[in-house]
Amino acid sequence: MSLLILLVFLMHTSQWHRWELIDRLDRIAYDVRLRLTMPETPDDRIVIVAIDEKSLAQQGRWPWPRDRMARLLDQLVDHYGVALVAFDVVFAEPEETSALALLDELGANPAENDPQLQARYQQLRDRFDHDATFVESLHGRNVVLGMFFTGKNESGGSQTAGALPAPMFPHGSFTGRRVPVPSGDGYAANFAALQAKGFATGHLMALPDIDGLVRRVPMLYEYRGDYYESLSMAVARNVLDARGVTPGFTDAGLEWLELGGHPVPVDARASALIPFIGRRGSFPYVSATDVINGNAPAAVLEGRIALVGATAAGLLDLRATPVQADYPGVEVHANMIAGILDATIKSNPPHTRGAEFLLVLAAGLLMALLLPVLSPVWAGTMTLLLLGAVISVNLLAWQGGDFVFPLAASVLTVLALFLFNMWYAYFFETRRKRKLAGLFGEYIPPELVKEMSENPESFSLESQNRELTVLFSDVRDFTSISEGLGAGELSQLMDAYLGAMTRVIYDHRGTVDKYIGDAIMAFWGAPIHDQDHARNAVYGALAMASQVRVLSKEFRQRGWPELHIGMGINTADMNVGNMGSQFRHAYTVLGDGVNLASRLEGLTKNYGVAIIVSRATRDAVPTLAYRELDRVRVKGRHEPVSIYEPLGPLDEVDDKTRDELELHREALKLYRTRNWELAELQFLNLGKRSPQRFLYKLYIERINHFHDNPPPADWDGVHTHLEK
């Protein structure tokens, strides 16, 4: 089966059968590489003279009168001193104006043969002959005109307009060689008088790929056996002072076109990949109306190449490209010109397919031979290494050698063979997965069991040391509650309470360790690794407290007593695993950090709060607001710990609570520096603001005690609790 998968990709790379999906992925991979490696550095050698919305608003709708185009050209050359002007527009037909038609009609009337009248007629005709004005403006200037080719129309015929320029390669230039360049059945060139004045003319064609994106420009376009150069090549030839273009052939066919010592790499269809340097605006833009009115910045235009083209959305010269969905066609030409001048056009010669075939063959055979004998971990490692090598070689060719090697087939070969081997191995691993999931199913919710079954190698029952967060909860005055209820009602109450609390813990990805009467012990971070174990634990505790309030309302309606619980939470390194004796095992956590969480739960009644968390837990969950309760030394522990009450998300705490927390921090500072009078006053004020809060009364009692019994000189503000 592995060899069959390899054969599929070898068929593609050998050109025996092309798979469109692989070609589509190759285009996507090309676009990603292009966007990631674009220099994104503006190029000010080429300036876009934009026929934009502003120009249309001030100069009128397009096309503009030819005398206005002459004015634009005169301004660019004479006023701004540009080095070359190229038009990404076509002037296929002479301009027709009603004034000129009327003058011609009057001038042709035999009754109007008066010499003076004829002289006046000629003056007026020269004035209104905008075409002649435009043609004359090209005289002696470096101006490159544009043209384009068309296919057959709906009736199967072809249309022509204007006069074709001299071809770059006339009919018969490639006799005996196969040059399968794009061809047209018709054309739209410039009217004859204008064409005769242009320095050169280049076609404006681009070749969209099957997905509609423009990635390449044909350097040559064929019409009836003649080959015409692109606008970008015509401009570059002028800049490089190259009179002609030399084709570069190898055994595989045409691979480059050389002009002025600058080879332009082309593909089998004589098309060059567009070397985009960035998104729209990588070249300076100047509004055409500002040039006509003399308001354009001179420093931007002087000595530059000026490309005149449409960028207004209504003029429909926006192209979908890998860089941007609405990329101006004139800026495509600018990128091509810059790429020719800088020799940054990437090469995609025919022999890259042979290299791709060999790469797919080598990678496929390596995977097919080694994967069946490797463990899943090593198989994954080898796959990643091989993928990294394939991609690295590809990027090295892209960046270092300016070669575009296909990527999708080799990557898909590696991935497909890996996935097949993993799928095949799945059937042999199913029993072990089910066994492991069955063992852990005793301790964790079904949702986490499902996650574990997908990757059983990552989990173990063996004891290990890991940072976890543990929670203890206990129902306050449970003895009184149990004495006031019958056995049946007490059982129903506990079922409802423990069921609701367990669901909350499960919803927050916790593991219920055990029930101890009315108490619950749970932990987060095992058996499934959870980077947010502390956060899930604290948010789970807040949800448990909220759920208890909901339950209490239901219990009151049933005539049962309300519930109040206390919870202690600590984050620390703990020992977790399947522990016990030969008679009984349990997946549980042990360690000093577990004991501390239990002690913190016991302290909740001392401070009149529902939840107490340690400093470690608070630091691990900075998105919550906390009230510092105390610095304590609990029974069985010498090291003191700061304890806090979580209040809720920071962005949900109101201004009144924020003010109270700030006053409380100041009161604690006064207390710990033995400033008893001010500390007492501060806690009294806080007690007036929140008379229901037991914490302030607690500190007032301590201060009163210290008035009569001052603490020792080395007192560090820590309160020692002797009971559990």
Q: If you count them, how many residues does the chain have?
A: 724
| 363 and 457 both lie in a single domain | no
Cis peptide before 63 (omega within 30 of 0): yes
| 307 and 329 both lie in a single domain | yes
Tell me the residue type at 278: G
| 418 and 448 both lie in a single domain | no
- Cβ distance 283 to 50 under 8 Å? no
Q: What is the pTM of this model?
A: 0.56
| 513 and 465 both lie in a single domain | yes
Angle between helices 408-440 and 2-13 (to 10 degrees): 150
Look at residue 109 and tell me if it is in a domain: no
Look at residue 243 and tell me if it is in a domain: yes
Digit-coded pLDDT (tens) for 638-654: 899 999 999 999 999 99
**Structural domain range at position 338:** 45-99+142-342
- Cβ distance 218 to 267 under 8 Å? no
Reduce the secondary structure of 25-50 to three states and give it as a string: HHHHHHHHHHHHHCCCCCCCCEEEEE
Cis peptide before 456 (omega within 30 of 0): no
| 181 and 237 both lie in a single domain | yes
Q: Which of 342, 358, 382 is the last residue of a domain?
A: 342
Q: Give the whole-number percent of the chain exceeding pLDDT 70.
A: 82
| 495 and 627 both lie in a single domain | yes
Work out the angle at residue 589's Cα, subtended by the Cα atoms of residues 588 and 591, and round it to the nearest 5 degrees: 150
Q: How many domains does the chain have?
A: 3
Q: Which of 295, 322, 342 is the last residue of a domain?
A: 342
| 244 and 303 both lie in a single domain | yes
| 607 and 503 both lie in a single domain | yes
| 482 and 504 both lie in a single domain | yes
Cα 287 off chain centre by: 33
| 63 and 207 both lie in a single domain | yes
Instruction: Going from the first residue of the chain to its last (724 residues), give the mean pLDDT of each consecutive group of 10, the final group possibly shorter.
Output: 48 54 81 90 94 92 90 94 95 69 50 52 55 90 94 76 93 86 92 90 91 93 94 94 87 84 88 93 94 94 95 83 92 94 84 66 69 70 80 82 75 72 60 59 64 63 88 92 87 93 92 91 90 96 96 91 94 88 79 94 94 97 96 90 95 92 95 94 93 93 92 90 76
| 623 and 645 both lie in a single domain | yes
Digit-coded pLDDT (tens) for 145-193: 999 999 877 667 788 999 999 999 999 888 888 888 999 999 999 999 9
What DSSP letter does each residue of 68-118 carry, written as one string?
HHHHHHHIIIIIS--SEEEESS---S----HHHHHHHHHHT-GGG--HHHH
Give which of 345, 148, 371, 146 is closest to 258, Cα–Cα. Answer: 345
Q: Which of 362, 392, 423 is the last residue of a domain?
A: 423
Digit-coded pLDDT (tens) for 510-529: 999 899 989 999 999 988 88
Distance CA 266, CA 639 (A): 75
- Cβ distance 143 to 85 under 8 Å? yes
| 194 and 326 both lie in a single domain | yes
Give which of 22, 21, 20 is closest to 360, Cα–Cα. Answer: 22
The end-to-end CA distance of the chain, in Å, is: 66
What pLDDT sits at residue 12? 43
